[in-house]
Amino acid sequence: MNNNNFNFDISEFTSGNTGILRADPVLDDTEKMLIRQAGSTVHYPKGHVIFAAGDISDRVYLIESGWVKIYRLSADGRRVTVGSIRSPGEMMGLAETILGVERTCFAGAINNVTMVVMTKSNFEELMAQHPFLAIKVAKLLGARMREAEAIIHEMVCWQAPGRLALMLMKMGERMGEHTKGGIKINLQLTHEEIANMVGTSRQTVTSLLNTFKQEKSIVYEGRTIRIVNPDKLAKWVV
């Protein structure tokens, strides 16, 4: 790691898995274009529930802009984030649509989202016509299975400080803006949302973020977090 250019390799801490925030092979321009041609563009405002548990799984989605969280509701009504935060260029809603079963999770727009929506029949026809796309979808689903295994490992084996530090590092790698003063994470989440992502309480997240701030691993700019010392932050990932 190098504090001068703020580069770091997440794989050092995830045994080759990228866990909460990144796992998927990337769709190339040709694959995206085929999906755009077979689907329709839809815009969702921040906070909109794109699909809900119990819905019929009759479509898949390609995110063009914005971020989407996948979550379930706990017995006490908390939104517990499962899997990944889906980002531009990613597909979602794949597994249940292919299986033809009801949705088990919710998908919520973190900010304003634009996506291509494609019906199950169009999606299946597209994969039949273009086997390379079907192979890419298989790879996507395989990667997400590994992602789920990595999350289970993190939840079972690591304490809350390590899970939070790793999540911040992954967010910095995936959506961070490299500046002279560090890595600015361009996704504003509440402490409650972060807590739901790392499996702890809002109070614990607030306390840990203050600790990271005091040791000068991170700084706040409003609700935006900037990683200023990834080496220090990485020491929590044990």
Taking only the tens place, the pLDDT of each residue in 99-123 is 999 999 999 999 999 999 999 999 9
**pLDDT at 9 exceeding the cut of 90:** no
CATH topology of domain 29-144: Jelly Rolls (2.60.120)
C-alpha distance from residue 5 to each of 22, 130, 231 (Å): 22, 42, 12
| Residue 40's pLDDT band (cuts 50, 70, 90) | very high
Q: Average of pLDDT values for 79-101?
A: 88
The predicted structure's pLDDT at residue 103: 96
Ranges for all domains in the chain classified under CATH 2.60.120.10: 29-144
The identity of residue 230, as a single letter, is: P
The predicted structure's pLDDT at residue 190: 86
Neighbours of 179 (CB within 10 A): 11
CATH topology of domain 158-234: Arc Repressor Mutant, subunit A (1.10.10)
Q: What pTM value is reported for the model?
A: 0.79
Q: Which residue's entry shows tokens 């298989």?
A: 138
The predicted structure's pLDDT at residue 83: 65
The predicted structure's pLDDT at residue 220: 86
| Residue 21's pLDDT band (cuts 50, 70, 90) | very low
Q: Average of pLDDT values for 128-151?
A: 90
C-alpha span between 214 and 122 (Å, rounded): 53
Q: Average of pLDDT values for 127-131?
A: 97
The predicted structure's pLDDT at residue 19: 38
The order of strands in the sheet holding 49-51 is 49-51, 106-109, 68-73, 79-86
* Residue 66 in tokens: 């914005």
**pLDDT at 39 exceeding the cut of 60:** yes
C-alpha distance from residue 199 to each of 53, 109, 119, 157, 165 (Å): 20, 20, 34, 12, 13
Q: Average of pLDDT values for 12-37?
A: 69
* Residue closest to 92 by CA, chosen among 51, 60, 120, 46: 60
Ranges for all domains in the chain classified under CATH 1.10.10.10: 158-234
For residue 179, give the 3-state DSSP assignment: strand
The predicted structure's pLDDT at residue 2: 44
